[in-house]
Amino acid sequence: MPLVSKLQLPFCEWPAADKALWQTAFEAVDFFDEDSRGSHLSVATREALRVNYAQYQRFISEYRADLLALPPAARINRELVAEYVTWLRRGQSPSTIPISLHHLRLAYGLVCPDEDWSWLLTITKRLAATSPRKAKKYHRVTSDQLYKIGVDLMEGTVADADSSRRVSRAQALQYRDGLIISFLALIPLRRRTNAALRIGKQLVKSGEFWSLEISEEDTKTKDPLDYTISETVSMRIDEYLELFRPRILGANNHSGLWASNKGCPMSDDAIYAAVFKRTKKALGFGVNLHRFRHAAASFWSIEDPVNVRGVKDLLGHDSFNMTEAHYIMMSQSRIAGRKLAQAHDRIRKRTLHSQINDCS
């Protein structure tokens, strides 16, 4: 059972109508069950919707308990949402409140699909547009830099293991982390897809090379992904599986590619923490997993701008518009800034050359 904070009304305390509608919306009987509109959603998305629906029900139970006897759709309107936003401001920042309303709207859309929730979308957008935004500050990093960090970790581990003539558990974990970093630098999978990799299922070997065959059930876009892994990284995977992975506690008891020291596959949060820690030590700042996708787009757009549309397939996007809007524009601005600086430098040199000629 998920943990429930004091700001959420526990499921067992929900009105009977809400519990019935929620179970109908999220618990599919079979693939042809049209009522289970939310059964296709990921576990994380379902949890976000549950949390925000339960949070709104807590608000109603505390301030308008008289409404609990009414159907779910009758317990929400513009005036109540305005009061709810005021209630949320006690514990949430202005930038997260629109996110809460977004999830609340999606939850109500699944529980009460016959109602028009466009008015709640309008309110959510207005709040999002007026909420203060903290400017994102990213340290520039590209895939080649990240790849080298991973290689350095792996080569350092091999050298240490050779000198000690044994592989310690710490060395096994270091090699694993280095492989994860180099692997993601070349194939920047989404964090949950990466954590779900299993040897012999998504990671398969054909001849001397490894490849990824990821089915639609393990991707965000529900489209299958297929990647060929380079000879160098294939050799690193072989080395990891033969020498280092067996030294990780309980690794032989499961097929997860990224074995944790807890006897099970690493979770996406554990991978995030390991990568952030290693990159921070190497660069002075930590690189989160999503930045690997930005790094890949940056590197491609700088090194091969003619074929940059290929980034869409690398990142598993449905359209190039998504890739361009969120991953490439930053790189293009850097390129433009670099060209501007080069132009200024050329003008400065011409001016200096002209002054020297005048003096002579």
The answer on pLDDT for 262 being more than 70 is yes
More confident residue, 295 or 48: 48
Q: What is the pLDDT of residue 218?
A: 72
Q: What integer is the mean pLDDT of 203-226? A: 80
21: left (phi over 0), alpha (psi -120 to 50) or beta: alpha
Mean pLDDT score, 242-267: 95
Confidence (pTM): 0.56
| 104-128 pLDDT, tens digit each | 999 999 999 999 999 999 999 999 8
Q: Tell me, what's the pLDDT at 358?
A: 58
pLDDT in tens, 124-170: 999 988 877 665 555 778 888 888 999 999 999 999 999 989 999 99
The architecture of the domain spanning 143-285 is Orthogonal Bundle (1.10)
List the chain domain ranges: 11-130, 143-285
Per-residue pLDDT of 3-50, as tens digits, reads 446 789 999 999 999 999 998 887 754 444 444 566 677 778 888 999
Query: What number of CA atoms fall less than 13 Å from residue 344's CA on the CB side?
Result: 6
Three-state SS across 6-34? CCCCCHHHCCHHHHHHHHHHHCCCCCCCC
Which pLDDT score, from 0 to 100, does residue 59 have? 95
Give dist(CA 1, CA 302) in Å, integer: 48
pLDDT band of 289, cuts 50, 70, 90:
confident
Q: State the Cα torsion 242-180-143-149 to the nearest 10°.
A: -80
- Give the DSSP letter of residue 243: I
- Confidence band (pLDDT; 50, 70, 90) for 314? very low
The C-alpha R_g of the chain, in whole angstroms, comes to 26
